[in-house]
Chains A and B, each alone.
Chain A
Amino acid sequence: GDSVTQMEGPVTLSEEAFLTINCTYTATGYPSLFWYVQYPGEGLQLLLKATKADDKGSNKGFEATYRKETTSFHLEKGSVQVSDSAVYFCALSDPRIQGAQKLVFGQGTRLTINP
């Protein structure tokens, strides 16, 4: 079945450092790809998404590019802030399923940014 693998955490960086969180996927079709963020004690918020190969999703300084050839969707940010501390989840959904978007999540990567 479809699956998502994220780099293991936790990841600890200093403020203004460059961030990369790796994500690779396995899917039989051409899934849509997502990054969700979860702040402490809260639900998940959609950070960005891409629906086809070579699409770049971006939001709040974060970017991720849908790479079909490497089945990857790595999350990057050029200069992180303390407020970016959270757990980040990579996910996919199979657009072949009409009228539904079943999300398959990775295990999450905890990010801590130190001032």
Chain B
Amino acid sequence: EAEVAQSPRYKITEKSQAVAFWCDPISGHATLYWYRQILGQGPELLVQFQDESVVDDSQLPKDRFSAERLKGVDSTLKIQPAELGDSAMYLCASSGNTIYFGEGSWLTVV
């Protein structure tokens, strides 16, 4: 069964350092999403791509977060500099008719 692949699964970084997460969506899925899930809460959309274009990044803190999907396939989410409040799970998802999520990347900022 096809899956959304994410890496790394776990990342510990110091405050003010840079961190990046990678996502490979299900083959053929044009739409890719990055969500952030703070412990004890539901996921919130950070950015949505249609192919290589951003269609919604209204909740992305653009002063420190960036996301790209250069060839319309895999995607990278970057945080620079990381802050303590960025500690969360970062979920990537892709969709055809249904949205499928990856296993997530846990970030701890110390």
User: Interface SS of chain A: helix, strand, loop or mixed?
Assistant: strand
In the complex, how many angstroms separate the beta carbon of A6 from the nearest chain B beta carbon?
A: 8
B34 adjacent to chain A (CB < 8 Å): no
Majority secondary structure of chain B interface residues (helix, strand, loop or mixed): strand
| Nearest CB on B from A96, distance (A) | 14
Question: Which residue of chain B has the shortest Cβ distance to A9 in the bound complex?
Answer: B40
Is A101 touching B31 in the complex (CB atoms < 8 A)? yes
CB of A106 within 8 Å of the partner chain:
yes
Does chain B have a CB within 8 A of A105?
yes
Is the beta-carbon distance between A89 and B98 smaller than 8 angstroms? no
Please tell me if A17 contacts chain B, counting CB pairs below 8 Å. Answer: no
Which A6-27 residues have a C-beta within 8 angstroms of B?
A: none
* Residues of B contacting A46 in the complex (Cβ-Cβ under 8 angstroms): 98-100
Of B30, B40, B41, B99, chain A has the most CB atoms within 10 Å of the CB of: B99
Minimum CB–CB distance from A21 to chain B (whole Å) comes to 13
Given contacts A43-B104, A46-B99, contact A103 B91 (CB under 8 A): no
- Extra inter-chain contacts (4) besides given A89-B43, A99-B30, A103-B35, CB under 8 Å: A43-B101, A99-B50, A105-B42, A105-B43
